[in-house]
Amino acid sequence: MTSACAADPFSRAMADREALIRLCLYALDRARSTGVAERLTEGLAQVGVQVLQPEGERFDPSRHEAGGTVPATDGELDGLVAETEVPGFTDGRQVLRPPVVTVYRAARGTPGGGPAGERGRP
């Protein structure tokens, strides 16, 4: 242990917390058991880490990562998150990982679709 770590136990504790959160997220991504995944998610929530699953929200490239698109059966769905492929996580206000999402995309010729409906979305 360095003298800086010994002199500042709070900083060391925070660094340990961050390392444990990263390890839990790593384990969660690889969990094959629903029970294990649920327990890891519950444990993360107990220390303030929240899951981001933005189904139904408007796609926002500053908060979401587009993994793909699916056809929208209704023009009103255009640009909304259809499903979360990989959940994201926040720790307080800090985004640890943005969610990877599938976004509804209106077909050309439908309201909200085509060149006028693209508006920089996936």
Output the domain CATH number for residue 103.
2.30.22.10
pTM of the model: 0.77
How many domains would you assign to the chain? 2
Q: Of the candidates 40, 121, 17, which has an alpha carbon nearest to the alpha carbon of residue 87?
A: 40
Residues 58 and 105 in one domain: yes
Q: What is the pLDDT of residues 71-87, one digit of tens each?
A: 998 999 999 999 999 99
Q: What is the pLDDT of residues 20-41, one digit of tens each?
A: 999 999 999 999 999 999 999 9
Residues 34 and 60 in one domain: no
Residues 118 and 69 in one domain: yes
Domain that holds residue 33: 1-47
Sheet holding 88-91, edge to edge: 49-52, 88-91, 94-97
C-alpha dihedral sign at 26, 30, 36, 41? positive
Residues 68 and 106 in one domain: yes
Please answer whether residues 44 and 63 qualify as being in contact, where contact means their C-beta atoms are separated by less than 8 angstroms.
no
- Whole-number pLDDT of residue 118: 43
Residues 61 and 34 in one domain: no
- Whole-number pLDDT of residue 114: 47
